[in-house]
Structure 1
């Protein structure tokens, strides 16, 4: 039996509209089963995610058209002024790299690992092009390539560790600080190597000295910090 959504009175299946208040009752698919007559209501669906996705798609298409027009315009202006492509190569390469970054930001790639790797490859493409336009790859291979690859690998490892942790909370913060220290020392090593100031022993010592305070803080948080303070910090930062 159907019920009027306005007054609540019971209405037979073929009785439209409501005989009491005259409200138009929507049709409901009914199916007979062995036990008796069971009403099958339509499944509830949230239209907001699909609507939000359509809005994002339209915005991204509009931005893509703007990028295409801007790239063509900069190439045209540069060629008209110099009869060759000079500054427009750098500008358009940067614009294209920014467009790829927007592609990942708009959620077209679901896997976080693929997003990190894609952003790393995009950075390599941008830096390689900027260095190659100068005629020689002076700083890409000794400096930019290892730094970007190291940052990508450390980011993927950090995300994998976070996903694998049975208990997160403060472990997320501790792992983050360790990853930041390792990344900082990785970048520092290649900068010193590029400037011919590398000392492996000094680099290891500095790395260990920076990791020790982080490890000590993590040990204190796990074994020495009062439980009430832990809960207060966890509620404060939603850990």
Structure 2
């Protein structure tokens, strides 16, 4: 308890003036008397992603140096030695395209949709360059362009279906959506090949692939929605999913 600094009488905490000598009581900060504890433990910080990004950048930088060194070597060989210029040109185009593929696969484009579109664009540039080495375009417009566009559309569809069902049981929906995408791609691919070969569009092998994969997809999806919850839980426990 506090005491009056003038007369020494014992006082209550709420008293502002001494009742004996009327001396005003000074304000005492109780927090100042409490011991201050220093936190000796470091602040927790997750540096895993920072270290992973640093390693990824170092690997990409190393690969970039190797790739552009290879391009310079190939260009030097083409300029001075004149050894099969078309083959050297094919190699230069492929190596440069490989660098762009690696940059996308390393995840520098965060959006999966933009990454898919970028992969399609790089593939179109690669196939155009390979077909245009001899100064003529023979198979780019007839095969490379429609097949690449088809593959990009199928991948975008697969990403869309995956994003819609990513909160559900992926053990069921990922294989089902993959089967649907492959079946559609195979059917459209055979149509493109028949059309470019000036043949009547007739589904043969792609029809078999389409029926089998679509049946598997429908079975998986129907089992997920039609099975009772008790059986679903039993299957999950059995398969550890």
TM-score, reference length from structure 1: 0.72
User: Could you say which structure has the larger radius of gyration?
Assistant: 2
Q: CA deviation at 1:47?
A: 1.9
Q: 1:98 to 1:212 in 2, by over 3 A?
A: closer
Deviates most, 201-210 or 223-232: 201-210
Counterpart contact for 1:120–1:152, Cα < 8 Å: yes
Q: 1:54 to 1:217 in 2, by over 3 A?
A: same
Q: CA deviation at 1:50?
A: 1.2
List 4+ stretches of structure 1 deviating above 6 A. Answer: 36-41, 200-208
TM-score, reference length from structure 2: 0.71
The answer for unaligned runs of 5 or more in structure 2 is: 1-30
Q: CA RMSD in A?
A: 3.2
Counterpart contact for 2:176–2:218, Cα < 8 Å: no
Pick one of 176, 179, 185 that aligns with 2:178: 176
Identify the residue that residue 147 of structure 1 maps to in structure 2: 147
Where do residues 62-211 of structure 1 align in structure 2 (5 Å cutoff)?
A: 62-82=62-82, 85-165=85-165, 166-169=167-170, 170-199=172-201, 209-210=211-212
**How far apart, CA to CA, are the structure 1 residues paired with 2:131 and 2:162?**
35
Q: CA deviation at 1:97?
A: 0.8
Q: 1:53 to 1:198 in 2, by over 3 A?
A: same
Q: 1:201 to 1:179 in 2, by over 3 A?
A: closer
Q: 1:60 to 1:205 in 2, by over 3 A?
A: closer
Q: CA deviation at 1:48?
A: 2.4
Counterpart contact for 2:187–2:203, Cα < 8 Å: no
Deviations 1:77-122 (A, max 9, x none): 1222228943221101100111111101222111111111111111
Counterpart contact for 1:78–1:87, Cα < 8 Å: no
Counterpart contact for 1:74–1:92, Cα < 8 Å: yes
Q: CA deviation at 1:180?
A: 0.8
Q: 1:204 to 1:59 in 2, by over 3 A?
A: closer
Bigger proportion of residues as strand: 1
Q: 1:82 to 1:157 in 2, by over 3 A?
A: same
